[in-house]
Amino acid sequence: MQRLKALYTWFDSRLQLGQPIKEMALHPVPNKTASWWYVFGSAAFVLLMLQIVTGILLALVYVPSAGQAWNSLNILNHQLTLGWFLRAMHGWGSNFMVAVVLIHMAQVFLFGAYKFPRELTWILGVFLLLMTLGMAFTGQVLRFDQDAYWGLGIGASIASRVPFIGSTAVHMMLGGPIIAGATLSRFFAFHVFVIPGMLLAFACLHVWMVVKLGINEWPMPGRIVRRSTYLTEYHDLTKKDGRPFVPGAVWKDAFFSAAILAAVAVCAAVFGPYGPGGQPDPTIIQTAPKPDFFFLWLYTVLSYLPPSLETPFLLIAPVLGIAGLVALPFYAGEGEKSWHKRPIAILMLTTIAVTWGVCTHLGTFTPWSPKMSAWSGGPPVPTRYTHDASPLQRQGAIVFQSKQCRNCHSIAGVGGLRGPALDLVATRLTEDQLIRQVLQGGGNMPAYGKNLSPPETTALVQFLETLHPINQPAAVDASHQAVMTEPALNP
């Protein structure tokens, strides 16, 4: 015992951690605060630790390469002992972490814990929620199956709509103009290094502020928050009716966190890991990619919104939502905390929860928007589009059908609605622009540069250049037109 004490003293004299840890463990909390309502923050932190540990173990096997990512996940699933369970723990841990963070945010809002002096604690919580969702999205991309490929295309399309910086945002997201090998490396870096590092730093700062400012007291009706008197009243409350966090309240946090970890393990053992599904292939269009559970509500909203409102919703609603959450403690930082005295807060929280639940449920069976009619194996390209065509253009029509382009695009009103109709495409895009769009993609369209040979690309573009009205010429690049020179002056 003397040796252990001496060893502890040696380390503590150099690290100086004993006093901060003791202060954190023994900080007083109001008696009623030591309840089951206050366990979600600790559970979220424990789930973050689970994600970090399982993520490190997965990174030992996972290969962040477009050619090897899918294979490495299948090796984990089928060849390594308990590899499937490790992947399942990581996947289900992500689901539980998002759910627990959302519940914690709702509980903090309901109890008025964002009010003075905990404004910055709340703001940090908002950013922790956003980073948790960012971890979930980047993790889905790393599966790099069909859902991940097309889901990433949708994400890039959303980013491309941001005014002024849309193109730059897409390049930062994808590591270039198209989904390629650099894309997966970039998302791996975000998922493994950037976002977890920020999450851990913000979470530690969040916990530190909770310790220094105190855990929010139980919201009693009539207990008004006033900036001039709150701190004195809170300290008086912890002296008269408080207890040390350890051991008075910590056992509930520990028990709940252990129960959450057990639930994650049960789900992992029973339901197994997520995917991967089919290998990513942009020429396989018979897919309706759906995001993971926590993004299904957005999937539903975009399915029911008219196309003209998709971009305004995507650009305006998130900004207003985040701004409202960040500004909340500044315009409602005083007054009642009890939900019995805050009917508007109850109505807002109930409305958001019900709307989110309904949209999430609808997202499990709602068709993707824009809708797509599977066209493979259907009628050929209408003859009027090939009647006077050259052999090369007719070959392009064959490529157009064999590569299932009409699963996404319509001609003469027949085909898919994922992409724009192509009846007038030659009036909108020049030959060079058509070639670039086919090879590099853009918006919701994947890149086909690796799936078409040069002769196929040439033939396809030649066919697309015929898609314009008879009385309207195709688009041309003015820089390629011959420049008329003035006649020479007579001597």
Mean pLDDT over 433-443 rounds to 77
Angstrom CA distances, 341 to 31, 42, 115, 337, 338, stand at 22, 28, 15, 8, 6
Q: What is the pLDDT of residue 478?
A: 63
Q: Which two three-digit tokens encode residue 82? A: 């308990």
What are the pLDDT digits (tens) for 157-168? 778 778 888 878
pLDDT band at 489 (very low <50, low <70, confident <90, very high): very low
| CA–CA separation, 89 and 139 (whole Å) | 13
How much is the average pLDDT of 320-332? 95
DSSP helix/strand/coil, 473: coil
* pLDDT tens for each residue of 236-269: 998 888 888 888 788 999 999 999 999 999 999 9
CA distance 67 to 78: 18
**What's the pLDDT score for residue 352?**
94
User: Which of 174, 195, 177 lies closest to 186 in space, CA to CA?
Assistant: 174
**Structure confidence at residue 285 (pLDDT):** 53
Q: Where does the pLDDT of residue 375 fall: very low under 50, low under 70, confident under 90, or very high at 90 and above?
A: very low
DSSP string, 435-472: HHHHHH-BTTBPP-TTTS-HHHHHHHHHHHTT-S-TTS
In contact, 176 and 442? CB cutoff 8 Å:
no
Residue 65 pLDDT more than 60?
yes
- 27-60: pLDDT as tens digits: 888 888 878 889 999 999 999 999 999 999 999 9
Q: Residue 490 has what pLDDT?
A: 44
- Give percent of the chain above pLDDT 90: 41
Residue 317 has pLDDT above 80, yes or no: yes
pLDDT of residue 425: 87
- Closest residue by Cα to residue 353 from 159, 158, 109: 109
Predicted pLDDT at 377:
46
pLDDT of 371 > 70? The answer is no
139, with CB counted inside 10 A (0-12, 13-18, 19+), is buried
Confidence band, pLDDT 50/70/90 cuts, at residue 325: very high
Pairs from 388-392 (Cβ < 8 Å, separation ≥ 24): 389/463, 389/466, 390/462, 392/458, 392/459, 392/462
pLDDT exceeds 90 at position 1: no
**pLDDT-above-70 percentage for the chain:** 90
Q: How far is CA 283 from the centre of its chain?
A: 25
pLDDT (0 to 100) of residue 438 = 84
Residue 374: band (very low, low, confident or very high) from pLDDT cuts 50, 70, 90 = very low
Distance from C-alpha of 270 to C-alpha of 259, rounded to nearest angstrom: 16
Helix or strand run (H / E) with residue 242: strand 242-244
100-109, 302-311, 363-372, 378-387: which has the highest mean pLDDT? Answer: 100-109
pLDDT bracket for residue 368 (50, 70, 90):
low
Confidence class for position 128, pLDDT limits 50, 70, 90? very high
164-178, 291-305, 339-353, 362-376 — most confident range: 339-353
Among 13-22, 109-118, 165-174, which range has the highest average pLDDT?
A: 109-118
Residue 111 has pLDDT above 80, yes or no: yes
Region 380-390 average pLDDT:
81
Least confident span in 89-93, 162-166, 189-193: 162-166
Token pair 């790099």 in the structure block, residue: 144
Q: Which of 24-33, 40-49, 229-238, 283-292 has the lowest mean pLDDT?
A: 283-292
Structure-token match 């962040």, residue found: 64
Q: Which residue has the higher pLDDT, 132 or 310?
A: 132
Are 72 and 87 in contact by the 8 Å Cβ rule? The answer is: no
Measured at the alpha carbon of residue 199, what is the angle toward residues 194 and 202, in degrees to the nearest 5? 120
Q: Tell me the mean pLDDT in the region 127-146.
A: 92
Cα–Cα dist 99/40, whole Å: 10
| Separation CA 162–CA 150 (nearest Å) | 19
Q: Where are the alpha helices (DSSP H) in 79-194?
A: 83-110, 119-142, 146-160, 166-174, 181-189
